[in-house]
Amino acid sequence: MKLAGQTVVVSGSSSGIGADAARKLARLGATVCLLARREDELLTVRTDIENAGGVALTYVVDLSDADEAETVTKQLLDDHPRIDALVNNAARSIRRPIADSTDRLHDYERTMAINYFGAVRLTLALVPRFLEQGHGHVVSVSSMSTQVPIPLFSAYLASKSALESFTRSLSAELGPQGVTTTVVYFPMVRTPMSTATDIYQKMPMMSADKAANWIVKAVVDKPTRVTSVPGAVGGLGMAALPGVVTTVTRPLFRRMDRRLSRRLQED
């Protein structure tokens, strides 16, 4: 029971990675605070945790709504004198070429609203408690695609890159006061969000269960980052030779999309 006595807040925990991570964190002894918009699904996750002997509480909230977020964070702080970790997992993704987005600034705004501002809003609300108690760990869920340049996800990746920079600044400024951070760089994970794109139904992906193990590692071990070997190599390549890496990977992603499209049509 590595997390016995600890309270962990997990946003986006009604399904996918967040739900699986919440179940695993509860099995390690944590009291898990489940945050998401869909109440029915949150209650299902809570029931699963309680049936397994764990403790979970549900908080229905749209983190892109400032008023809702303020109400929920006040309730969190009232309910839990000690909060040990926050997992910023709630997100949305949009797959669209930039050339087709020139009249769709709202795609970028609504993606930033949850992926960046929602996460920052929640983090800022908990920072005073972290400082008061002398410790707190923030896990920010990102994507391997911020380590390797890929097309068609500019809104999503811009929001995740912003969250990464905020998370690094948080560690740089408040690390000496006990506030630590981890950025988790997931490859493609099979979740309702990723499989909403038809061609990705034929793409090999990490399971949500395995992805949840990365979240658990981030909460328990508190490394600066959790990533894959390809992600780490991509990050090094972009730091050393960004132009070369971008040029080399561009046709690879186009071929991958064509191959996945053919597989979908064959079925």
Triad 125, 131, 133: Cα angle to 5°: 110
- Number of helices (H), then strands (E), belonging to the chain: the values are 9, 9
CA distance 265 to 267: 5
For residue 173, give every residue at least 6 positions away whose Cβ sits within 8 Å of its Cβ, in sequence order, or none: none
SS3 13: coil
Neighbours of 173 (CB within 10 A): 11
Residue type, 18: G
Q: Does residue 156 have an active-site annotation? A: yes
- Give the H or E element holding residue 231: helix 229-240
3-state secondary structure 41-107: HHHHHHHHHHHCCCEEEEEECCCCCHHHHHHHHHHHHHHCCCCCEEEECCCCCCCCCHHHCCCCHHH
SS3 232: helix
Residue 153 backbone dihedrals phi, psi, to 5 degrees: -125, 40
Neighbours of 79 (CB within 10 A): 13
Neighbours of 241 (CB within 10 A): 12
From 59, 116, 156, 185, the catalytic residue: 156
Residues marked active site are found at: 156
